[in-house]
A and B are shown apart, each in its own frame.
Chain A
Amino acid sequence: MTRKKRRLYMLGLALLGLGAATALTLTAFEDNIVFFFSPTQLQTQDIGDRNFRLGGLVEEGSVSKLPDGVTTRFRVTDTVHTVAVTYRGQLPDLFREGQGVITEGRMINGVFQAREVLAKHDENYMPPEVADALKEAEHFKANSKDQKPSS
Chain B
Amino acid sequence: MHRFANPARFQRLSAVVLPWTAGATVILLIVGLYISLIGSPRDYQQGDTVRIMYIHVPAAWMSLFVYVNMAIAAACGLVWKHPLADLFAKAAAPVGAGFTFICLVTGSLWGAPMWGTWWVWDARLTSVLILFFLYLGYMALVNAFDDPQRGTRAGNVLLLVGIVNVPIIKFSVDWWNTLHQPASVIRMGGPSIDGSMLVPLLVMALGFTTYFVTVVLLRLRAEIVQRKIQTMRLSEAQG
Contact = CB atoms under 8 A, between A and B. Distances in A.
Interface in A113-132: 116-132
A11 B78 contact: yes
Nearest to A102: B179
B177 A55 contact: yes
Given A94-B114, A118-B116, A123 B182 contact: yes
A130 B44 CA distance: 8
B114 A35 contact: no
A126 B79 contact: no
Given A123-B181, A126-B197, A149-B177, A15 B163 contact: yes
Contacts of B44: 126-128, 130-132
Interface of B is mostly: loop
A8 interface: yes
Interface in B191-217: 192-194, 196-197
Classify chain A's interface size. Answer: 35 or more
Contacts of A122: 181-182
A129 B79 CA distance: 55
Interface in B177-194: 177-179, 181-184, 187, 192-194
A151 interface: yes
A50 interface: no
A45 B78 CA distance: 48
Given A119-B114, A120-B115, A34 B177 contact: yes
A125 B177 CA distance: 20
Interface of B: 41-46, 49-50, 53, 75, 78-80, 113-117, 120, 122-123, 160-161, 163-164, 168, 175-179, 181-184, 187, 192-194, 196-197
Q: Top 3 A-B pairs ranked by shortest CB distance?
A: A92-B116, A127-B41, A131-B44
21 contacts: A7-B78, A11-B79, A14-B160, A36-B177, A91-B116, A92-B116, A93-B113, A94-B45, A119-B116, A121-B45, A123-B182, A123-B183, A123-B192, A123-B193, A125-B50, A125-B184, A125-B193, A125-B197, A127-B196, A128-B44, A150-B177
